[in-house]
Amino acid sequence: MTADDDVEKGRPEAIRAVPVRHPGRWVAAAVVLVLVAMFVHFLLTSDALDWAEQRKYVTSTAVLKGVRNTILLTIAAMVGGMVLGTILALMRLSANPLLSGASWFYLWFFRGTPLYTQLLIWGAIGTLFPTVGIGIPFGPEFETWKTQELVTPMLAAGLGLILNEAAYMAEIIRAGILSVDEGQQEAASALGMSRSQTMGRIVLPQAMRVIVPPTGNEVLSMMKNTSLVAAVPFSELTFTAQTIYASTYKIIPMLVMACLWYLLLSSILMVGQHYLERHFSRGVGRGTEAGLRLRFRGGGGGQ
């Protein structure tokens, strides 16, 4: 036997990679397929859903009016909530203890009480304040109006949603402002920029990367929270569905129809949220995010 033969015999054999088996994944996939098949079968065969009844009302004038009111309330609540929330966030960050304390109290109250309860109060606001007027504080009033006539159901619903949403948007905006490095604010100040210029041109544009994702979630939540304004009451989508089944006694079909409308509106909002997030997060953490996704799916080099 030659040395060359010994060398040949001493070489390690080629590594034969054996794919890792994942039986749990196959079992989970089979369970999901069975559940999906059962759900589809239920949708197609259940008499309780009464698809013919849903088709009858899904594009009716009353339902479309309810959808319109839902959209209008969502837009009004989010625009008003963001404007008031920005003011509250700046007050919360103020060095003035009175402004900071007032903002903290506002957030404490509106985040600590249920939205439905707040809307009930707005629905009965005329009992709490029979009249409203213009005049001198703690003095005579020059003009007064009956609150119940002045605050319509739509106005009461809008105010209730705006004031509640502002408390949550204030915390989101405050977190976004705090995420921007203080050194940039100091540099802007050194260049002679005022506090408002620094906030509008330096801080807020960068803070949007942090603000946009949770704001998108707030829009989705607000669109669904509009169903609570039945407490006022105001004729939005859910209230309209309730009005219809009060006369037809088709409760489940009308509620499912409302859910389908909510799903459609939510899907549209989710698409918009996706593109907004992609716009404001350009060039920030994309490689890391892709790596995490690959590792989660088992394609990375992690253990």
Give the mean pLDDT of 240-258.
90
What range defines the domain where residue 201 resides?
49-280
pLDDT of residue 292: 43
How many Cβ atoms are within 10 Å of 262's Cβ, its own excluded?
A: 19
Residue 99 is assigned to a structural domain of this protein:
yes
Asked if the structure places residue 40 within a domain, the reply is: no
In a domain, 174, yes or no: yes
How many domains does the structure of the chain reveal? 1
Q: What is the mean pLDDT of residues 30-47?
A: 91
pLDDT value of residue 275: 83
Cα–Cα dist 162/118, whole Å = 11
Q: Give a yes or no: residue 202 inside a domain.
A: yes
**Range among 26-30, 102-106, 180-184, 283-287 with highest mean pLDDT value:** 102-106
Highest mean pLDDT among 79-88, 142-151, 210-219: 79-88
The answer to whether residue 294 scores a pLDDT higher than 50 is no
In DSSP terms, which residues pair with 131 in a beta bridge? 146
Is residue 227 in a domain?
yes
- For residue range 14-23, list pLDDT tens digits in order: 777 777 777 8
Give the tens place of pLDDT for each residue, 150-194.
888 888 999 999 999 999 999 999 988 888 877 777 777 777 777
Domain contains 11: no
pLDDT of the residue at 10 = 62
pTM equals 0.77
Among 35-39, 250-254, 278-282, name the one with the lowest average pLDDT. 278-282
In a domain, 262, yes or no: yes
CATH code of residue 119: 1.10.3720.10
